[in-house]
Amino acid sequence: MAKDAVAEHGESSKAPLVAAAGVNRAVAVVDIFLRFIAIIGTVGSAIAMGTTNETLPFFTQFIQFEAKYSDLPSFTFFVAANAVVCTYLVLSIPLSIVHIIRPRARYSRLFLVFFDTAMLALLTAGASAAAAIVYLAHKGNVRANWFSICQQFDSFCERISGSLIGSFAAMILLVVLITLSAFALARRH
């Protein structure tokens, strides 16, 4: 009878470990899914911004006004930041797969939290810089004599505005990824 009590005690102490591993495995599956969605957002934003240009004829076909993303350093930084974050997300997928196989892996999860946070900062900087220019393109600034260009370059403005959506969505997903990783680390005993 004493052996049964010891066996029951031993089994009950393993039950929370098995449950924690199951929760951490589920977190790892969600982690991979969110990384794939963030990849789609960042690559879509980079492509949408990087392929944006519009040319308007002015009086004759020899005099033309052109708007393209590479004319503005903030947009170039936006494309580069999205490309770097996308590359990081692709390269981080194998580590996320390791977390499915070994849900109790701690140091690799700390690695992901650290670099996810760094990529969030980079993506936030790029999206914020681009958002400021998009705002000026739409509204202008009367005090600085900067006029809105979106009445003339409507297609250009639509594309640059749309490219911000994927980037801001990826920022939200990175915040969720960091929170999930912190949750999985906190569940360790």
Give strand pairing partners of 136: none
Mean pLDDT, rounded, of the chain: 83
* pLDDT tens-digit series, residues 84-114: 999 999 999 999 998 888 877 788 889 999 9
Q: Which tokens is 81 given?
A: 């930041």
pLDDT score of 130: 93
Choose between 3 and 156: higher pLDDT: 156
Q: Which tokens is 178 given?
A: 């960091």
Q: How confident is the model at residue 43 (pLDDT cuts 50, 70, 90)?
A: very high
For residues 126 and 56, give the distance between their C-alpha atoms in angstroms, rounded to a whole number: 28
**Using an 8 Å Cβ cutoff, are 154 and 103 in contact?**
no
* pLDDT tens-digit series, residues 145-160: 788 877 777 778 888 8
Domain spans in the chain, listed from the N-terminal domain onward: 17-54+68-187
Choose between 166 and 145: higher pLDDT: 166
pTM score? 0.81
Average pLDDT over residues 29-46: 95
* Residue 126 CB-half CA count within 13 A: 31
Length of the chain: 189
Question: CA–CA distance from 25 to each of 68, 90, 101, 124, 183 (Å)?
Answer: 45, 20, 8, 29, 12
